[in-house]
Amino acid sequence: VTNSHFEHNPTVDYIKYAQAFWMLKSIQDFYENHDLNKNDVPLIVTGDLNSVPNGSSVHLIMGINMIQLSFRI
């Protein structure tokens, strides 16, 4: 389980993208350092991404194909 809180300012989507990148990189490093497989060890990502469903950070996270998000509006 991981939790994150991304930048709130809607005009700096590039910062949210960078935050998503580093979050995913940290998750990948954790899996590799502990010899884990994403198919054997499920991952739950929670938090406040401060983004919209079509935001760049959401596209990055969804494109990794290891995280499934649901949005509450």
Per the CB < 8 A criterion, the answer to whether 64 and 24 are in contact is yes
pTM of the predicted protein model: 0.78
Position 41: which residue type? V
Q: What are the tens digits of pLDDT across the range 8-23?
A: 998 899 999 999 999 9
Rounded mean pLDDT, 39-63 = 86
Residue 73 has pLDDT above 60, yes or no: no
**pLDDT of 63:** 80
Which residue shows structure tokens 């494109």?
Answer: 63
Cα–Cα distance between 58 and 63 in angstroms, integer? 8
Cα first-last separation, the chain: 22
**What DSSP state is assigned to residue 2?**
E
47 contacts: CB under 8 Å, gap ≥ 6: 2, 3, 4, 5, 6
